[in-house]
Amino acid sequence: MHIDIITVVPELLDSPLGHSIMKRAMQKGLLTVAVHHLRQWAVNEYGQVDDYQYGGGAGMVMMPEPLANAIEKLQEQGSYDEIIFMTPDGTRFDQPTANRLSLQNRLLIICGHYKGIDQRIRDTYITMEISIGDFVLSGGELPAAMVVDAIGRLIPGVLNDETSALFDSFQDNLLAPPVYTRPADFRGMKVPDILLSGDTRKIEEWRYEQSLQRTQERRPDLLEGEL
């Protein structure tokens, strides 16, 4: 999979994409991520990519010309399955969306900044708008990194145990069950006996019951229409 990211603050993406699982995915050649500084396509020698909004109001808006030129230049290298804009008013990102995007070959992610991007870019180029929650951040770089991480870890071969992602929270609309490791007795708190039994069938039944209980308690909305 190849992902291009357009941003005005590329430095914000260095750490999230340069370590841990995403780093290993790129080292294995399973994922490539190219970060592009929007100021490469600035409208003048001062690096301008934003301007005041028509109609007045506080905050600057990312101009259409730099974004259009950046998108069209990157499209010369190949078409995109989705051109994604990270924005608070987009569709809420969830696990099914991550699953679907992980099956694509080429994605372009545009990180909003300031008061957002000119609506004409959204109308002309954007095929998908994503929000990570009902709150506002300074820009779309951290949300973009979260989306890349959620997608990248699902690519076959990225995780050491390829079945691991199948048991994450939100797969099958359930939260993950409690997990335990050594020692079996920590300060008088013991691992449930069933996990030490070696009975695979009973362990899986216990995990499902725990997932269901945890979901009912913490996220009952995930079970609407399921029970």
* Domain parsing of the chain, residue ranges: 2-152, 169-223
Q: What is the pLDDT of residue 145?
A: 97
b (16+ CB within 10 A) / e for 191-224:
beeebeeeeeeeeeebbeebbbebbeeeeeebee
pTM, rounded to two decimals: 0.89
SS (H, E, C) the chain: CEEEEEECCHHHHHHHHCCHHHHHHHHCCCCEEEEEEHHHHCCCCCCCCEEECCCCCCCEEECHHHHHHHHHHHHCCCCCCEEEEEEEEEEECCHHHHHHHCCCCEEEEEECECCCECHHHHHHCCCEEEECCCCCCCECHHHHHHHHHHHHCCCCCCCCCCCHHHHCCCHHHCCCCCCCCCCCEECCEECCHHHHCCCHHHHHHHHHHHHHHHHHHHCHHHHCCCC
Predicted local distance difference test score (pLDDT) of residue 169: 53
- Residues of the chain with pLDDT below 50 are 163
What is the pLDDT at residue 159? 87
The per-residue pLDDT for 221 is 92
φ, ψ (nearest 5 deg) of residue 25: -60, -40
pLDDT computed for residue 167 by the predictor = 53
CATH level 3 topology of 169-223: Trp Operon Repressor; Chain A (1.10.1270)
Residue range 46-78, pLDDT digits in tens: 999 999 999 998 899 999 999 999 999 999 999
Instruction: State in words which class domain 2-152 has.
Output: alpha beta
Q: What is the structure's pLDDT at 160?
A: 74
The CA distance from 191 to 193, in Å, is: 6
pLDDT reported for residue 173: 83
